[in-house]
Chain A
Amino acid sequence: QKEVEQNSGPLSVPEGAIASLNCTYSDRGSQSFFWYRQYSGKSPELIMFIYSNGDKEDGRFTAQLNKASQYVSLLIRDSQPSDSATYLCAVIWISNFGNEKLTFGTGTRLTIIP
Chain B
Amino acid sequence: ETGVTQTPRHLVMGMTNKKSLKCEQHLGHNAMYWYKQSAKKPLELMFVYSLEERVENNSVPSRFSPECPNSSHLFLHLHTLQPEDSALYLCASSQVSGGYNEQFFGPGTRLTVL
Contacts A43-B107, A100-B96, A101-B56 known; A32 to B101 CB distance under 8 Å? yes
Q: Map CB proximity to A onto B8-51 as digits: 1 under 8 Å, 0 otherwise.
A: 00000000000000000000000000000000111101001010
Interface string of B91-111 (1 = CB under 8 A from A): 000001001111111111000
Instruction: Count A-B contacts at CB 8 Å.
Output: 49
Q: How many angstroms from the CA of A34 to the CA of B102 in the assembled complex?
A: 8
Is B90 part of the binding interface, using a Cβ–Cβ cutoff of 8 Å? yes
Contact of B102 among A4, A42, A43, A49 (CB under 8 A): A49
Nearest CB in chain B: distance from A47 CB, A: 11
Known: A105-B42, A106-B40. A32 touches B55 (CB 8 A): no
| Contact assessment for B55 and A4 in the assembled complex, using a CB-CB cutoff below 8 Å | no
Partner pick for A92 among B42, B56, B101, CB 8 A cutoff: B101
Report how far A105 CA is from B106 CA in the complex, Å.
19
CB of A42 within 8 A of CB of B107, answer yes
A99 within 8 A of B: yes
* Interface positions of A from 53 to 111, Cβ below 8 Å from B: 88, 92, 95, 97, 99-107
Closest chain A CB from B91 CB (angstroms): 9
Give the CA-CA distance A31 to B99 in the complex, in Å.
7
Evaluate contact between A43 and B105: CB separation under 8 angstroms. Answer: yes
- What are 19 A-B interface contacts by the 8 Å CB criterion? A8-B40, A31-B99, A32-B99, A32-B101, A43-B106, A43-B107, A44-B90, A44-B105, A46-B102, A46-B104, A49-B102, A92-B99, A92-B101, A99-B55, A100-B96, A101-B45, A102-B101, A102-B103, A106-B41
